[in-house]
Amino acid sequence: MSMSTLLIRLAGPMQSWGLKSAFELRNTQLDPTKSGVIGLLCASLGRERNEPLNDLTALRMGVRIDKPGDLAFDYQTALNVAKADGGKPDTQLSHRVYLADAAFWVGFEGDAVLLKKLHHALLNPIWPQFLGRKSYLPGIPLVDPHDACLELPLDLALQQAPRMQAEHEKVAGTPVKYIIDSEAHEGTEQRHDVPLSFEINHRAFTFRSVKSSWGLVDTEEVLYV
């Protein structure tokens, strides 16, 4: 059966894809997590936290890193934070790590009917869209309004996407990194970022296998970000 692919553009001044964040330290992966991007899809769809995620987690995901960005640190202070024991509200300090000026292509491969529904939701979101954290907004439209989905497998769709770059950059002919869902075997990496539930008190995740590689972009088309 032929597969279709939906391509999503994740580019902005700030984005963060936390995998092991907790309490005072909010960290980030160097590329988008499957849980983070599925969360973005759920917000666009207006899907509640207690609704099933099976249809989204079953999609095969791939990432192309056009601009890795720079790791940056943000120090935040929150006043009058309520305590679980009902005690006097306190001041809470947190260190937040984010990616500055990064740009990624994310592809989802699967059934064309579902992908077209997701494309429509990304263009017409029910809830606000953000790149990992609520204050990190997309710098460009998340999808091409005209291409609902491509009749291409995930690997080829990612290779043929326009190169995202700043206007002053000269990156033609330089390789980019691909990270794509793969069957578990030697040379793959395990990532614990497939969401089973987003419910506040019952958040749960499982593993997936990904394979990383370097390759060229199979087009001269450029998208300035």
- Does residue 220 lie within any of the structural domains? yes
- Does residue 149 lie within any of the structural domains? yes
Residue partners of 145: CB distance under 8 A and separation at least 6: 123
- Does residue 79 lie within any of the structural domains? no
How many separate domains does the chain show?
1
Residue numbers of the domain that contains 193: 4-21+28-68+101-224
Quick one: pLDDT at residue 23? Answer: 59
Residues 117-152 have pLDDT tens digits of: 999 999 999 999 999 999 999 999 999 999 889 999
Quick one: pLDDT at residue 84? Answer: 64
CATH number, domain with residue 141: 3.30.70.2660
Quick one: pLDDT at residue 42? Answer: 99
- Does residue 198 lie within any of the structural domains? yes
- Does residue 80 lie within any of the structural domains? no
- Does residue 174 lie within any of the structural domains? yes
What HEC string does the chain produce? Answer: CCCEEEEEEEEEEEECCCCCCECCEECCCCCCCHHHHHHHHHHHHCCCCCCCCHHHHCCEEEEEEEECCEEEEEEEEEEEECCCCCCCCEEEEEEEEEEEEEEEEEEEEECHHHHHHHHHHHHCCCCCCCCCCCCCCCCCCCCCCCCCCECCCHHHHHHCCCEEECCCCCCCCCCEEEEEECCCCCCCEEEEEEEEECCCCCCEEEEEEEEEEEECCCCCCEEEC
- Does residue 123 lie within any of the structural domains? yes
pTM score:
0.91
Which residues of the chain have a pLDDT value below 70?
Answer: 1, 20-24, 78-84, 91
Quick one: pLDDT at residue 79? Answer: 63
- Does residue 108 lie within any of the structural domains? yes
